[in-house]
Structure 1
Amino acid sequence: MRRHTIILDHIDGREAAALLENGRLDDLLLAMDATPAVGTIYRAVAQRPVKGQGGMFVSTPDGPAFLRQVKGLSPGQTVLVQVTGRAEPGKAIPVTSKVLFKSRYAIVTPEAPGLNISRSIKDEARRDALLELAHEMMEADGMGLILRSSCLEAGDAEIAEDIEAMAATAGRIMPENEGTEATLLEGDGPHALAWREWAMPADVITQAGGFAREGVLDQLENLEVACADLPGAGSLWIEPTRALIAVDVNTGGDTSPAAGLKANLAAARELPRQLRLRGLGGQVTVDLAPMTKKDRKAFESTLRVAFRTDQIETALVGWTPLGHFELQRKRDRIPISEILS
């Protein structure tokens, strides 16, 4: 049986939240001091289009941002945008004009009408009850709504309160599309994100020093080195470069015929956790241990299942001519190396 523990604490004065599963660190959220938090909403001013990319640079109170898929936007016009990822040093803040208002149970979509229930909720009776609640709460608002998987076990009163709060926030922010550049809504910090995203039953520790008492700091030390052990199946080396994240799978001392496949499957199960904890994103290239081509489907299937529950958007791109496997992962976290160094 899985036992979850959520710890809200600080690291070197920086707000942080940790999720433990049976005492093992499974996720870590850190405040991004130098860059705006994901989810921050600006009133931005269009500056100049980027030919060939279908995008445009816009100005915000926190510096230049880059908006993709621009249509009908001219320099000098104002537009509401939302931060979608971490701004790398020296680069523009990534933003979108598809603004969302996201909370623990509900996501309000002002420009995408319609009422939707998470596909992970399979119980038809519960789906019908949630759809009825959604109609009742959003009937006069004209905005879209998505009810998240966390609604399965939540009470209707909690869900209704969440919908009402998000709809009210959207109703307040969306009309603010004229004027000078401004920050209209700050993105959630680690403690708020932990409440929003970690909705499973868990013990919650909020007392100062929780990271030290629960062994989080000890486990963070393991992230300072490139090598991560794969239980009974070799090791995983994860080394960020300027261009990409290089991942190497080693079989260790196992010389059996199935050693390569065994290590690769273990790596597929562990890779989402390691990238999550290390705060790594961008292009990821995996150099796998030797295995036959017929075993590739087993690796892909295991990798797909492993990333299915990961909350960070990751595209499984596929195989290279040299037999490496490539992924593209959204950059929306601060690398842990910047904290531990």
Structure 2
Amino acid sequence: MMGDQVFLSLNDERSEFYRWSGDHLAQVAIERKGEGSPLGAIYLGRVLRIEPSLNAAFVEIGLDRPGLLPIKKQGAQPSEGDAVIVQVRREGREEKGVRLSASLRTLVDTTALAKGKQAPALLVPAPALWQSALEKLAPEQIESITCDRRVDVAPITDWCRRHRPGMEGKVAFLAERDWVPSRADINDAVAEALEETVLLPGGGQLLIEPVRTLTAIDVNSASATAEKGIERTALAVNLAAAREIPRQLALRNLGGIIVIDFIDLENRNKREQVLSTLREAVGIDPAIEWVGNMSRLGLVELLRRRTGPTLQEMWQARHG
């Protein structure tokens, strides 16, 4: 089976990452210059205050809002005004700052970098967009990594050799006009992913409605045929939905609480079959952290980790 194709378009204005899997667009990441994620960056921060009720400290690292650093109950405790070396582990959202950790994931000698610096100071910048994206993929999963500029091939190959052995021989230059799928194909796939309605194979559809506090997904039979009986039709649509929903969540980069309203099934075994299919399908997306049980009414909750802006936000910024 052919692996996934990665397409990279990197320039001074923005970075774009597209992953094509089979005949579907599977992942999109777009970042304009100066608007990158701080995830993974290491800072020399200054403790502003300790919050005992949260068992955490608020740390100034030079961003718009202080970061939150959980404090271990045992061991040395930071005090207000202390300088601490921390790494961003989770992005800020809404009115909350980033989540920090004093346990660093790096091979760099950060103590040496911090010497002589005053907090707040950036010690190690966050990974580039393409680095963060490739880091989450297995080398055997990738068939090719195509760059639209020759100048990018060498540094990406070198990075893969050090961080993702097995990918380095898959990096090559190909002018964007010769991409297959083409840029037009990618744009069409993104346009489809921005629609609220997703048509399912064999009939049926998903209605995906992100709101401020959660994302609601309604499954309905739409044009699915009922020749084999209503219950069998409902089961077929639900199974197709269970297989498609994780792909849609990953492509649209929707995080937080997801509530899926499957078509009602009176038979408990069939409800379990749908739930089992969903739990198997979420394996494609490591950002999905939890899948709940199905209620009698066909409702299932799942939790997907927030990982940067949604596809809609990235695409709007690209054309902004």
Q: TM-score, normalised by structure 2?
A: 0.75
Residue 68 (structure 1) aligns with: 70
SS at match of 1:202: strand
Output the amino acid matched with 2:6: I
Deviations 1:227-280 (CA, angstroms, capped at 9, x unpaired)? 112211411121111111111111212333222222222222222211111121
- Unmatched 5+ stretches in structure 2: 149-174
Deviations 1:70-97 (CA, angstroms, capped at 9, x unpaired)? 4433322233322223322432112233
Mapped partners of 1:94, 1:283: distance in 2: 19
Output the amino acid matched with 2:125: E
Residue 103 (structure 2) aligns with: 98
Length, aligned pairs only: 273
Output the amino acid matched with 1:90: E
1:302 corresponds to 2:239: no
Output the amino acid matched with 1:2: M
- Unmatched 5+ stretches in structure 1: 102-166
Of 248-257 and 292-301, deviating more is: 292-301
CA contact (8 A) 2:30 2:315 kept: no
Residue 181 (structure 1) aligns with: 120
Mapped partners of 1:317, 1:47: distance in 2: 39
CA contact (8 A) 2:29 2:314 kept: no
Mapped partners of 2:184, 2:146: distance in 1: 9
Between the aligned residues of both structures, percent identity stands at 27
Runs of 4+ in 1 over 6 A off after TM superposition: none
1:291 corresponds to 2:289: no
Mapped partners of 1:298, 1:86: distance in 2: 36
SS at match of 2:231: coil
Residue 2 (structure 1) aligns with: 2
Mapped partners of 1:279, 1:67: distance in 2: 26
Deviations 1:124-162 (CA, angstroms, capped at 9, x unpaired)? xxxxxxxxxxxxxxxxxxxxxxxxxxxxxxxxxxxxxxx
Mapped partners of 2:111, 2:304: distance in 1: 29
Residue 45 (structure 2) aligns with: 44
Shift of 1:337: 1.1
Mapped partners of 2:70, 2:269: distance in 1: 39
Mapped partners of 1:60, 1:320: distance in 2: 44
Residue 14 (structure 1) aligns with: 14
1:54 corresponds to 2:55: yes
Cα-Cα RMSD: 2.7
Mapped partners of 1:192, 1:98: distance in 2: 21
Q: TM-score, normalised by structure 1?
A: 0.71
Output the amino acid matched with 2:24: R
Residue 203 (structure 1) aligns with: 144
Output the amino acid matched with 2:96: K
CA contact (8 A) 1:233 1:266 kept: no
CA contact (8 A) 1:78 1:177 kept: no
**Shift in alpha-carbon separation, 1:52–1:236, aligned structure 2, 3 A:** farther
**Shift in alpha-carbon separation, 1:177–1:70, aligned structure 2, 3 A:** farther
Mapped partners of 2:80, 2:67: distance in 1: 14
1:327 corresponds to 2:264: no
Shift of 1:19: 1.0
Residue 338 (structure 1) aligns with: 313
Mapped partners of 1:52, 1:252: distance in 2: 50
